[in-house]
Amino acid sequence: MKAFSTLFKTELKLSLRGMDMFIFAICMPIVMIVILGIIFGSKPAFDGAEYTFLEQSFGAVATIAICAGGVMGLPLVVSDYRHKKILKRFKVTPVSPALILAVQVAIYALYSVASLILVYAVATIFFGYQMSGSWLQFLGAYFLVMLSMFSMGLLVGGVAPDIKTASVLASVLYFPMLIFSGATLPYEVMPVALQKVADILPLTQGIKLLKAASLDLPIDSVLLPVIMMIALAVTCIGVSIRFFRWE
């Protein structure tokens, strides 16, 4: 426990010193919710909708940090620490190299939760946002999205042969999901053809779940996304355990 807390403190400091996660996971979602708030304010999501555009977008914006940490931050740090033989150094200490990975997962989870709280605070204070659905369901969906995104990131970092490959794979996952899954560009304004393509992205399904939970929409539309998220997490974790490269 002493090792975990010391490592957590140090790795968090190092991560903040690097600034990139602060920009992509903390600042970017706040900028997004402010832009959406200014443009759409309290306009309804569509003619006759019972909820506003901003309320509809809240769940989506809340995933920006998960996406940045899970499929960009995690793969890069895992492959970097393997390349620097930091994981190997842990093999000749009393603690397992898995500890430093657990610390990284905890740090990115902290970024995500901090981002959720900040986005919620900004939306509530400045744009009169109200969560009409259940917080419990929302948080359940939120952690499910986190689990599947993080497991995908660990898989990429764990099996990519070098940092370059990991960074290419991370970009291939990160940018399409950031733009086309609805996290930044609202899914509802996309043409139907693009929506069909976007539906393939796991984050699109995750955001659908979060929207359903935050807007209190009927439960039957969420079964497919739940199954997809769980299947993705189980597959990635399974493959990671089998093929993870420690050095």
Partner 1 sequence: METTIKVNQLSKSYATVKAVDNVDISVCRGEVFGLLGANGAGKSTTIECILGTKKQDSGRVSILGMNPRNDRKKLFERVSVQFQEANYQDKITVAELCEVTKSLYKTSLDYEDLLKQFGLSDKFKSQVSELSGGQKQRLFIVLALIPDPEVVFLDELTTGLDAKARRDVWKYLSDLKAKGLTILLTSHFMDEVEALCDKINILKNGKSIFYGTVQEAVATSPYEKFEDAYLWYTDEEEKENESI
**Closer residue to partner 1 in complex, CB, 17/242:** 17
**Closer residue to partner 1 in complex, CB, 103/146:** 103
Cβ atoms of 215 and 188 closer than 8 Å: no
* CA trace torsion 209, 172, 78, 100 (10° rounding): -10
- The distance of closest approach from Cβ of residue 97 to partner 1 in the complex, given in angstroms and rounded to an integer, is 11
Dihedral (CA of 190, 191, 192, 196) sign: negative
**Closer residue to partner 1 in complex, CB, 90/111:** 90
Dihedral (CA of 234, 160, 110, 115) sign: negative
- The distance of closest approach from Cβ of residue 153 to partner 1 in the complex, given in angstroms and rounded to an integer, is 18
Give CA–CA dist 102/238, Å, rounded.
16
Give CA–CA dist 141/126, Å, rounded.
25
- The distance of closest approach from Cβ of residue 165 to partner 1 in the complex, given in angstroms and rounded to an integer, is 19
* Tokens representing residue 73 in the block: 């931050």
Q: Which residues make beta-bridge pairs with 52?
A: 44
- The distance of closest approach from Cβ of residue 9 to partner 1 in the complex, given in angstroms and rounded to an integer, is 9
**Closer residue to partner 1 in complex, CB, 90/244:** 90
* Tokens representing residue 3 in the block: 């090792």
Q: Which residues bind partner 1 (CB under 8 A)?
A: 2-3, 5-7, 10-11, 13-14, 17-18, 80-81, 84-86, 88-95, 247
- The distance of closest approach from Cβ of residue 101 to partner 1 in the complex, given in angstroms and rounded to an integer, is 14
**Closer residue to partner 1 in complex, CB, 16/168:** 16
